[in-house]
Chain A
Amino acid sequence: MSNSGELSQRQQAWVLIKDHWDVSALLVLAIAPLGVPALGGALGGQFTTLFIYSILALGLNVMVGYTGLVHLGIAAFFGIGAYVTGILTVPMYPFQIGFLGAAIASIVVAAGIGLALGAPTLRLRGDYLAIVTLGFGEVVKVTLRNLEQITGGMKGLNPVPPPGAGVKLGGLDVGLSFAIDPRWFYYLSLGILAIVVIAMRRLENSRLGRAWMAVREDELAATAMGISATRVKLSAFAMSSAIAGLAGSLYAASLSTTADPNAYDFNRSIMVLCAVILGGLGSIPGTLLGVGILVGFDTVLAPWADSWIQQLDINPTGSSMLSFSGWRLAIFGVALVLVMRLRPEGLVPSRRVAAELHREEEHAAITKGF
């Protein structure tokens, strides 16, 4: 008896955590640096990157998940955010307006460019958008590389000063703290991530979020109800771009460089897209989980497996076939194919998308039955 009571208590606790996964995760992540000293070192930096990618993926999710538009160039907006922040803060240029202003500018510029790109193209068929965003991603990368005087070409812009450089708070040099202790960035990016999650939640259940989903479900029916599909799609594009710009701004600040333009290429876009699809389209926890898995794969699993294989000493010639990271592309590819085949709604499906993907199967089964 007592055993089952305990179990139900445990179950209750589990349900509680599951229902409030967000608060629980936030609490754990907020307390973690106090208990895990490694977070004050390189690990803290890795977590910061994870949070930044999560923000980026949530931005992409607005477009792909909520609105159902394929976006293959999100990294371009990430890069635009990073470079705007770089231009506005590096000592090389006379602006040096500090992180906050630069972040706002990054958001505005990225959203503006998103609007400018979306306005002529979002009225087109959905498939065309994929190619337009893909092409745009390439063009941005090449342009960043070509405008050497502005962007520093392949060298990128650096040093991007940390947030709060030169600001003294009660004898504490904020900029210096950001520079030397990774935990500052850890908390900053965690905080921004939390804000973005809350914002996404609210939008999901607002008029705009509903309109996004209606356009995804049936664009024609939505327009026949007086929804302006173009405007709705534009707003999704702008929102995606803005969030990606914010993530880029944070990225540049955390790396203290914009990195070279190749950091914002198709691979990055696709990786983020994979994370969103793997985790579950339109699902916030799914997106976060997807990013966790992919970044975890690249920064934790792949290096570990590589060193393990090296220890086994089965690869004396250094062939890429016998190293784990040599299979990276194939693993991603197989994962995408399998997810689409077996669990198209992703690992943590959004209630709605799951229903959609399965409905179509059921529908097919029914018509075949007839």
Chain B
Amino acid sequence: MPALPPHLAMISLEFFLQQCLIGVTNGALIALVAMGYSMVYGIIGLINFAHGDLIMLGACLALSLVGASGLVDAGPTATWWGVVLLLLACGLFCGTLNMAVDRFIYKPLRNASKLAPLVSAIGVSFIFMNVGLFWLGPADRSFPELVPPTNLFSGDTLQFTYQDLLVVVVVVLLMVALSVLVRSTRLGRAMRAVSQDPTAAALVGVDVDRVIAATFFIGGALGGAASVIYSLYIKTIGFQMGFQNGLYAFTAAVLGGIGSIPGAVVGGLVIGLVRSLASAYVGERWTGAIVFAILIVILVFRPEGLLGRRTREKV
């Protein structure tokens, strides 16, 4: 088959598949962040504005750890173990930080009006950004390439590298772990109970505060993992990255049905695909507008999101 001329390459099947692959990988990353939003929203109805910036701080820590450990020059096996350790360290860090923020900032506002925690979350996001500014400096920093960008497919029509594989594998593993946790553990059951009705859950002996703290920890830990994956995959981090990522991830959470974890995954994949296809076929600069238009369209037809349940107001 003769090679297509460049201006027709866009309509080839390979090109399309390639964009889909990129979209799925990006979407997995977005889904990971979106799950953090969705979990916190599901349990206390708070749009955790600081989640994107929490991930930025996770990326800061990852960069510092990589710099301090000299992981860049280590052999391949050591690097893989290093990545696992990074995931654990950043997960622990972000989870603990998220839990601490909940304990000291959101918890006293549980009975306040709905606006109060939201505004506080915006405030926390500012504080995080300032910390990130001091940590990274005002300019973007590049993250060392720990995972080789070796293509897994033979030939160069399709590109799917170890980096892509890492993203997909980690996200799938975390997703499975999370759904097992929510479905079949005591904590998961308590979480579902609290998200349905905190008062009733408290009455039957669930320690609501602990469940909420655990949710914040898990959401934050997912964010920490996301920060490592993001750094390894995108390889550029900066103190303002939280806002953009947060925006896409939150859009994904809303799109899939906020509060629903499978919804966050579906929303993330949809947004990842839309982004990559739009930037390939329409132009990079219009991707934001297209994602937004799709969000509006979906909300018009399904206000509860793709997989969300319709909520009934208690009267």
Q: How far is the CA of A68 from the CA of B114 in the complex (A)?
A: 10
Q: How far is the CA of A136 from the CA of B295 in the complex (A)?
A: 11
Chain B residues within an 8 Å CB radius of A50: none
Q: With A146-B286, A326-B134, A360-B113 as known contacts, state yes or no: A340 contacts B47, CB within 8 Å.
A: no
Tell me if A127 and B299 are in contact (CB < 8 A): no
Tell me if B113 and A131 are in contact (CB < 8 A): no
Among B123, B299, B315, the residue within 8 A (CB) of A132 is: B299
Tell me if B133 and A277 are in contact (CB < 8 A): no
Tell me if B299 and A126 are in contact (CB < 8 A): no
Chain B residues within an 8 Å CB radius of A123: 303
- Taking the complex as formed, is B63 at the interface, i.e. its CB lies under 8 A from any CB of chain A? no
- Taking the complex as formed, is A334 at the interface, i.e. its CB lies under 8 A from any CB of chain B? yes
Interface members, chain B 108-149 (any A CB < 8 Å): 108-109, 111-120, 122-131, 133-134, 137-138
Among A134, A146, A273, A281, the residue within 8 A (CB) of B247 is: A134
Q: How far is the CA of A326 from the CA of B137 in the complex (A)?
A: 10
Q: How far is the CB of B99 from chain A (nearest CB, A)?
A: 17
Q: How many residues from B make CB contacts under 8 Å with A? A: 50
Chain B residues within an 8 Å CB radius of A330: 126-127, 130-131
Name which residue of chain B comes closest to A221, CB basis.
Answer: B315
Interface stretch of the complex, out of A33-41, A137-145, A252-260: A137-145
Q: How far is the CA of A344 from the CA of B311 in the complex (A)?
A: 28
Tell me if A131 and B47 are in contact (CB < 8 A): yes
- Taking the complex as formed, is A220 at the interface, i.e. its CB lies under 8 A from any CB of chain B? yes
Chain A residues within an 8 Å CB radius of B254: 128, 131
Q: How far is the CA of A127 from the CA of B152 in the complex (A)?
A: 42
Name which residue of chain A comes closest to B108, CB basis.
Answer: A341
Interface members, chain A 55-101 (any B CB < 8 Å): 68, 70
Chain A residues within an 8 Å CB radius of B247: 134-135, 138
Tell me if A360 and B120 are in contact (CB < 8 A): no
Chain B residues within an 8 Å CB radius of A128: 254, 258, 299, 303
- Taking the complex as formed, is B82 at the interface, i.e. its CB lies under 8 A from any CB of chain A? no
Contact with B along A89-125 (1 / 0, CB 8 A): 0000000000000000000000000000000110111
Tell me if A68 and B115 are in contact (CB < 8 A): yes
Q: How far is the CB of B304 from chain A (nearest CB, A)?
A: 9
Tell me if B126 and A146 are in contact (CB < 8 A): no
- Taking the complex as formed, is A333 at the interface, i.e. its CB lies under 8 A from any CB of chain B? yes
* A-B interface pairs (CB < 8 A), number: 131
Chain B residues within an 8 Å CB radius of A320: 133-134, 137-138
Q: How far is the CA of A360 from the CA of B108 in the complex (A)?
A: 13
Tell me if A333 and B127 are in contact (CB < 8 A): yes
- Taking the complex as formed, is A185 at the interface, i.e. its CB lies under 8 A from any CB of chain B? no
Q: With A340-B116, A360-B113 as known contacts, state yes or no: A127 contacts B124, CB within 8 Å.
A: no
Tell me if A336 and B119 are in contact (CB < 8 A): yes
- Taking the complex as formed, is A270 at the interface, i.e. its CB lies under 8 A from any CB of chain B? yes
Q: How far is the CA of A327 from the CA of B313 in the complex (A)?
A: 42
Q: How far is the CA of A185 from the CA of B182 in the complex (A)?
A: 60
Tell me if A135 and B133 are in contact (CB < 8 A): no
Among A127, A273, A329, the residue within 8 A (CB) of B127 is: A329
- Taking the complex as formed, is A314 at the interface, i.e. its CB lies under 8 A from any CB of chain B? no
14 new A-B contacts, CB < 8 A, other than A131-B254, A273-B122, are A70-B115, A130-B118, A138-B288, A139-B288, A142-B289, A146-B286, A320-B138, A329-B130, A332-B126, A335-B123, A336-B122, A341-B120, A344-B112, A360-B113
Which residue numbers of A lie inside 8 Å of B, CB to CB? 68, 70, 120-121, 123-128, 130-132, 134-136, 138-139, 142-143, 145-146, 220, 266, 270, 273, 277, 281, 320-321, 326-330, 332-337, 339-341, 344, 356-357, 360-361, 363-364
Could you list 18 A-B pairs, sorted by A, with CB under 8 Å? A120-B299, A124-B299, A128-B303, A131-B254, A132-B295, A281-B115, A320-B137, A329-B129, A329-B130, A330-B131, A332-B126, A333-B128, A333-B130, A340-B120, A341-B108, A356-B113, A360-B113, A364-B111
The 7 closest A-B pairs by CB, nearest first: A333-B126, A336-B123, A364-B111, A330-B130, A333-B127, A329-B130, A337-B123
